[in-house]
């Protein structure tokens, strides 16, 4: 069974965070007040920010090892990422947004996989819609399909539901939990919303400004 190990210090001008935890498949929520370092930790796991010390690895795949000068490129980490705002390509259809993430050289195969995944997240009818016309909840469904399209090692989600209305949030929390179980994924979710913690978390890593303070099932 896969496991993620994080033991790093990450810094940006004026702020740093020490994060240390190990987690397996399921949803781990990084919880705490805004500005406590949750998103910095997620950025280090994603590879968009280099830690100043420590190690990040999934099983025997080392994402970062500062002492030995290892920093695996983001695109080589096989991650699915969902942000607060879906960051879709508005000039592409929902189907093509997902197809671009599929790990196959044949575009026909990519599009077929994309249609299947859109159906899986309840967005099959939106495959050829104008992406810019989608609602917030619809965009996040497409973003979830895109996140799992590349057969990722893990999912990283940064406040993924914070801009949605309550019914959409509830539906997408349930969908995320189902997808994580189906694909046996490690998922890290950044949130400061206690309702997300209560609904999603298999385990919680609690942050205070600048450090993690606990990890619990």
pLDDT string in tens for the chain (217-residue length): 689 999 999 999 999 999 999 999 999 999 988 889 999 999 999 999 999 999 999 999 999 999 999 999 999 999 999 988 778 999 999 999 999 999 877 889 999 999 999 999 999 999 999 999 999 999 999 999 999 999 999 999 999 888 888 898 899 999 999 999 999 999 999 988 888 999 999 999 999 988 887 666 5
pTM (two decimals): 0.92
Q: Provide the pLDDT for residue 202.
A: 95
CA distance 30 to 197: 9
Contacts of 126 (CB under 8 A, 6+ apart): 94, 118, 134, 138, 141, 142
172 in Cβ contact with 161 (< 8 Å): yes
Nearest in space to 95 (alpha carbons), one of 108, 76, 80: 108
Q: For residues 70-84, b (16+ Cβ closer than 10 Å) or e, as one string? A: eebeeeebebbbbeb
């Amino acid at each position: 069974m896969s496991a993620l190990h994080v033991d790093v210090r990450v810094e940006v001008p004026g702020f740093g965070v020490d994060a240390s935890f190990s987690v397996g498949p399921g949803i781990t929520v990084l919880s705490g007040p805004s500005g406590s370092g949750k998103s910095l930790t997620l950025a280090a796991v994603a590879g968009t920010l280099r830690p100043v010390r420590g190690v990040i690895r999934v099983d025997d795949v080392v994402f970062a090892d500062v002492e030995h000068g290892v920093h695996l490129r983001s695109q080589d980490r096989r991650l699915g990422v969902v942000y607060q705002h879906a960051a879709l390509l508005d000039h592409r259809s929902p189907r093509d947004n997902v197809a671009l993430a599929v790990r196959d050289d044949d575009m026909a195969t990519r599009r077929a996989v994309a249609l299947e995944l859109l159906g899986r997240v309840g967005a099959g009818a939106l495959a050829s819609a104008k992406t810019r016309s989608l609602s917030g909840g619809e965009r996040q469904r497409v973003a979830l399909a895109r996140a799992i399209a590349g057969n990722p090692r893990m999912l990283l989600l940064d406040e993924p539901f914070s801009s949605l209305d309550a019914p959409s949030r509830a539906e997408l929390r349930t969908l995320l939990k189902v997808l994580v179980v189906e694909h046996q994924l490690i998922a890290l979710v950044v949130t400061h919303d206690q309702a997300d913690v209560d609904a999603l978390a298999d385990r919680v890593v609690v942050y205070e400004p600048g450090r993690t303070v606990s990890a619990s099932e």
